[in-house]
Structure 1
Amino acid sequence: MTLESDVTATPGDGNVEFELTVRNPGDDPVDVTFRSGLKADFAVLEDDREIWRASDGRMFTQALQSETFESDSERAYSGGWPDPTPGYYTVVATLDIMEADVEARTDFSV
């Protein structure tokens, strides 16, 4: 399975919007299984220490879900960090699937 990913962080008015883009650059479809209703998670790090995670304190359906990434296709998953404190951070975005780790990270400032 070969999925590629990248994440963007866009500071806005009182929040930061994240978007994880996952692509299948291969010639064959890729089937993935999500562990729950959570498809993508976003963690914010300050000096390599996690200070916020999108999924913290939230509940998700506890049912496996499958999706297929067709050849040369992509999907975007979004999330947001409300009321960030000004500073320099790294966001780590993870596709929450069973098959393999799909992760992307980028630095940003607020």
Structure 2
Amino acid sequence: MVDTAKGTVRFAIEVANESGKRVELLFPNGRTHDFAVLDSAGHEVWRWSEGRMFTQGLRNRLLDAHDSTVYDERWEPPAPGRYTLVAQLNSDNYPVRQRVDFALR
């Protein structure tokens, strides 16, 4: 999801367990997700995790049957233009990467 308001852009990735049983997401460290923004030439202009520190311990997240969780962050774009968001769930056992093109005016 891309939501713009007040000069910032809000990104969100929803992770849903559509199965009928509980699922355990396993993470190798505290970085459960990440967001990167690429410009129209494909160059990375922002990464949420850049410069952040994360715990080094293993982490898990239980999702009950038909449950979901949302990871969201905010970005302040440098200029209008065409961009691509790369949203990633950093789970060892259920890794997900999604790309979405968007434009800012």
Query: In which range does the TM-score fall when normalised by the shorter chain?
Result: 0.7 to 0.9
Letter in 1 for 2:14: T
Number of the residue aligned with 2:16:
23
Q: Superposition RMSD on alpha carbons, in Å?
A: 1.4
Q: 1:49 aligns with which of 31, 36, 43?
A: 43
- Asked if 1:95 is matched to 2:64, the reply is no
Letter in 1 for 2:32: K
Instruction: Report the count of equivalent residues.
Output: 103
Q: If the length of structure 1 is used for normalisation, what is the TM-score?
A: 0.84
Secondary structure of 1:27's counterpart equals coil
Q: If the length of structure 2 is used for normalisation, what is the TM-score?
A: 0.88
Secondary structure of 2:49's counterpart equals coil
- Measured after TM superposition, the shift of residue 15 of structure 1 is 1.4
Letter in 2 for 1:51: V
> Counterparts of 2:94 and 2:70 in 1: how far apart (Å)?
18
> Counterparts of 2:56 and 2:79 in 1: how far apart (Å)?
33
Q: Do 1:91 and 1:106's aligned partners in 2 also have CA atoms closer than 8 Å?
A: yes
Number of the residue aligned with 1:105:
99
- Measured after TM superposition, the shift of residue 48 of structure 1 is 2.7
> Counterparts of 2:48 and 2:16 in 1: how far apart (Å)?
22
Secondary structure of 1:106's counterpart equals strand
Gaps of 5+ in 1: 1-7
> Counterparts of 1:15 and 1:38 in 2: how far apart (Å)?
22
* CA deviation map 1:15-48 (0-9, x unaligned): 1110110101111211111222222100111233
